[in-house]
Amino acid sequence: MKFPTKAIHVGQIPDAGTGAIIPPIYMTSTYLQEAPDKHKGYDYTRAGNPNFTNLEQTLAVLEEASYATVCSSGIGAITGLISNLKQGDKVVAGNDLYGGTFRLFDQVFKNFGLSVRVINTQNLDEVEMALQEQPKMIFLESPSNPLLRISDIGAISKLARKYGVLSIVDNTFATPFFQNPLLLGADVVIHSTTKYIGGHSDIVGGVAITNNKDIKEKIDFMRKSMGLNPSPFDTWLISRGIKTLALRMERHAESALKIAAFLEAHPKVRKVFYPGLESHPQHALAKKQMTGFGGIVSVELDLNMEQTKKLISSFRLFSLAESLGGVESLVDHPASMTHASIPKEEREKNGLSDGLVRFSVGIEDVDDLIEDIGNQLVNS
Ligand SMILES: Cc1ncc(COP(=O)(O)O)c(C=O)c1O
């Protein structure tokens, strides 16, 4: 079966009792037991629910994997994974991570004795040097948020294996439609399902996906022990959204490329970050490990902070909002919104300037979107 067929049919068995084509929402906290500990596989929704299982089956298959654990959010899934580390353990993290992920490492897990070293994962020598210090995990995003940097997932996973380090890839931007990190050698894939996988900006969710049964069981244990579970309704909505993932991703990427090309030719734009552009420094690598380049385009404008802030509040179709990956277009100012939790000095060291704007290109008509950007840029 091909991707769009799997996205529609896997984990979506019609209800045996009624014939309902769509599995129902199991809004229950607990389950009837025939005798103590004798039940049908579920005992309490913090530990498991049929809607979680359905979505886990779909997500595992779409990432070409054996196991998935759905969580309350992307950050919940990362928490479930990281919580298995111990005081004194080291983590190596990519230099361009979603601000909330960096905050989780830097302001939460550090307090429990975990040390985090941020490195440039585009530089394989730097990666190898960091791995020689025997961290437990290397965690990266590719493409990264918000600078769309590409890391060589295959080469990094191979190095990680050589040094006995677990490799984790946050695949939120690419989605399994455009990239399968486990097939490239990574040990665990993370998604914020809040984004493209859900696709409609109406839920918050996350997932950790792996072929390693031991890791799956450990994340399940943390979900149950730390209360990282999603709600049955949210997982049902994600299962609903995922059916159109292939169609949506095709449109997001097609429009994003047109918008990136439009912006690249615009006099008020200093630099465009989109891995589908030939000018992107890792375009060749992106082409090698991805089958498409996604729907996020970031730009550095030739505008000062005040002009940038005025511009991004003025679009008609790009709503100024956090998040990304929904059918509707959004615009974000990373320095003051999604990445504000990263200290300014650290942000600027990693190339994330105050003039950076991130567009999440929706699936509206692309001519309307280009007209909106063009009109407001003229007025800026
Ligand atoms: C790349 C990436 N990973 C993880 C997250 C966190 O996901 P959530 O907001 O679902 O907790 C985000 C959120 O923006 C993200 O962009």
Task: Tell me if 94 CB under 6 Å of ligand 1.
Answer: no
1-43: pLDDT as tens digits: 999 999 999 999 999 999 999 999 999 999 999 999 999 999 9
Half-sphere exposure of 63 (CA within 13 A, CB side): 32
359 and 286 in one domain?
yes
Number of folded domains in the chain?
2
Q: Which residues of the chain have pLDDT under 70?
A: none
Same domain flag for 364 and 236: no
Torsion of CA 285, 289, 293, 294, to 10 degrees: -140
Q: Give catalytic status of residue 170 as yes or no.
A: yes
Based on the domain organization, do 194 and 281 belong to the same domain?
no
- For residues 207 and 89, membership in a common domain is answered with yes
286 with 179, same domain? no
Q: Closest residue (by CA) to atom 7 of ligand 1?
A: 74
Residue span of the structural domain in which 103 resides: 3-242
pLDDT digits over 345-363, tens only?
888 888 888 889 999 999 9
**Is there a single domain that holds both residue 188 and residue 253?**
no
| Cα 40 from Cα 43, distance rounded (Å) | 8
Residue in 42, 106, 149, 195 annotated catalytic: 195
Picking from 179, 210, 242, the residue at the C-terminal end of a domain is: 242
Say whether both 104 and 123 belong to one domain. yes
Q: Which of 60, 12, 187 is nearest to 69 (CA)?
A: 60
Report whether residue 72 contacts ligand 1, using a CB cutoff of 6 Å. no
**Cβ contact 138:166 at 8 Å:** yes
- Say whether both 148 and 260 belong to one domain: no
Last residue within a domain, chosen from 242, 257, 292:
242
pLDDT at 305: 80
Residue 233 has what pLDDT? 98
Do 61 and 156 lie in one domain? The reply is: yes
- CATH number of the domain that residue 335 is part of: 3.90.1150.10
Ligand 1 neighbourhood includes 109 CB (under 6 angstroms): no
Give yes or no: 163 in active site. no
Query: What pTM was estimated for this model as a whole?
Result: 0.97
Q: Please give the helix or strand (H or E) that residue 207 lies within, else none.
A: strand 206-210
If asked whether residues 233 and 322 sit together in one domain, one would say no
**pLDDT for res 335:** 86
